[in-house]
Every structure is written in C-alpha cells, then in structure tokens.
Amino acid sequence: MYEQRPVRPDLVRDAPPGHLPGPGTRRPSGTRGVHEPDPHGAGEQRPEQYGMPVAPPPPPPVHVHHLPRRSPDPSIHVVHGVLTVATFGLWLPVWIVHTIVMAAQGPRPAPVPVPVRPMMPAGPPVPPPSPEQINHAAVQQAAARAYRRREARGLAMHNPLMARELRIGRTDVPPYRRPYDDGGLIDVNLVPAQELTRFGIATETAERIVAIRDQVGGFSSAEELATIADLPPKLLPELLEYGLYLP
C-alpha cells in the first residue's frame, strides 16, 4: 500500500473552494502549479497565442521647437506718450488698446530663407540683322506673296465655287473670316468701290467702275476693264497682277 500524502490547495488551479482532489484525480490539461515552471516558455499567456491583435509600439516623442516671442519695440510707447500729452489725454484709450493687442499677439515665425539660384545668361547677345539681310527677307516675302496669288488665281479659275467659299479676293471681308491666304488678290466683280482704290485709282474712278460693272454684269479680264472704264495704260500691270475676274 502506498502512503497518501496531503495535497496543498494553493497548488491546484481551478479547484472550487473547500474541494481537495483525491489521490487519483488528474488536473486539467494546461493547468500548472503556481511555482511550477512552464516547459514551453513563461508561465504568463501571451495575447498572440489566442489570435488577439497586438497593439503597435507607441511612437517616439516629437520635440516641437517653439520660436521665442519677440519683445515689442519700446519706442512705440514713447510715441504713444507724446501723442497722449499732445492731445491732452485723448490718445490714452488708443494707447491702452494698442498695448492690449500687442500683448495678445502670439509669436511670429521668422521667414525661412529660400536660396535663389543666380540667373545664367542664355548666351551671347544676338546682333541685329544687317540692311542686306532685311532687304533679302523683304524680297523673299514679296516673291512668296506673288506665288500665293498665282496659286489662288489658278484655284479660282478651276473651281469658282470653292473660291467663293474661301473668299479669295474678298479684301472687304475681315482677315479672321478669310482663312485662305490669296496673296492680296482683289475680286473686281464683287468688292465695293473703296477696295478698288487699292489699284492706285481715285475714289471717283472706282465708283464709276462699280456703276459700269452693274450695267455690263462684270468684267472678264483686266484688258476689258481698262477698255470699258477708259483707264490709263499705266494701271494695266496692277490690274493684271492683283485683279481677279470671276464670272
């Protein structure tokens, strides 16, 4: 026979008060005595063993740098004192209010200096164009306009409807409504009398040409215009170069 030893109640967990387990009673799994070491680690149960979220560590303390309060300029009080004496005390309330406002103002942060990079020159200065270069550019522009006139005249002769739509030769229409650059052509059979003065003729002669145009129904060429309107021969080159005679 084995000798039965007394069991200490404080070494048995989850035992109801006044109950002592017998010699053949097993303790529940997972329970240990107070002084018995846990073979799997510390006796204290960790939260992650139960699937509970673990709180992150607290953030490090942030050190806030406070700018020192700038002391008010003492000379302003001297000015207030002089004004108070000069106004026989009437300036005293203003002095008091200004002192309260100055005391209530918080510290003003000093502006942070921003480095400014010096501007580097883009390069050596470009010399102005010479007179020869200016003349050469003017000749090129005149030649380009003459080419555009020939191109626009050929388009108008082959497709008069498109010429009307593009407003070729309509110098009386604002440029923003004439997207096609015709080089300066003048539609003799449509423009008013004021536009005919671009040929170098007087206003009275231009009005007479418009009257004749209405009678004969238009002109078919520069030679016909010069003959019917009795124009001087010196105008014929202008009528040939800049005139457009659409039916």
Domain that holds residue 226: 142-244
Strand locations in the chain (E): 186-187, 243-244
> How many domains are contained in the chain?
1
Question: Is residue 232 in some structural domain?
Answer: yes
Average pLDDT over residues 204-225: 94
pLDDT for the residue 180: 93
HSE toward the beta carbon, residue 15, CA cutoff 13 A = 19
Question: Which whole number is the average pLDDT over 8-32?
Answer: 49
What are the pLDDT digits (tens) for 177-199? 999 999 999 999 999 999 999 99
240 in any annotated domain? yes
Within a domain: 236: yes
- Residue 117 included in any domain: no
Quote the CA–CA distance of 202 and 94 in Å, as a whole number.
Answer: 79
The 8-class DSSP code of residue 16 comes to: P
Whether residue 47 has pLDDT greater than 80: no
Report pLDDT for 125.
Answer: 83
Residue 53 within a domain? no
Residue at 127 is within a domain: no
Whether 198 maps to a domain, the answer reads: yes
Q: How long a stretch of residues is the chain?
A: 247
Residue 30 has pLDDT above 50, yes or no: no
What pLDDT is attached to residue 41? 47
What distance in Å separates the CA atoms of residue 220 and residue 134, rounded to the nearest whole number? 39
Calculate the dihedral angle through the C-alpha atoms of 5, 11, 16, 21, rounding to the nearest 10 degrees. Answer: -30
239 assigned to some structural domain: yes
At 117 the pLDDT is 75
Token digits for 113? 């200096």
User: CA–CA separation, 139 vs 122, rounded Å?
Assistant: 32
N-terminal to C-terminal alpha carbon distance within the chain: 143
Start-end of H helices in 159-221: 160-166, 193-196, 203-216
Measured between alpha carbons, how far is residue 131 from residues 136, 137, 208 in Å? 9, 10, 43
The alpha-helical segments, DSSP class H, found in 6-130 are 75-86, 92-104
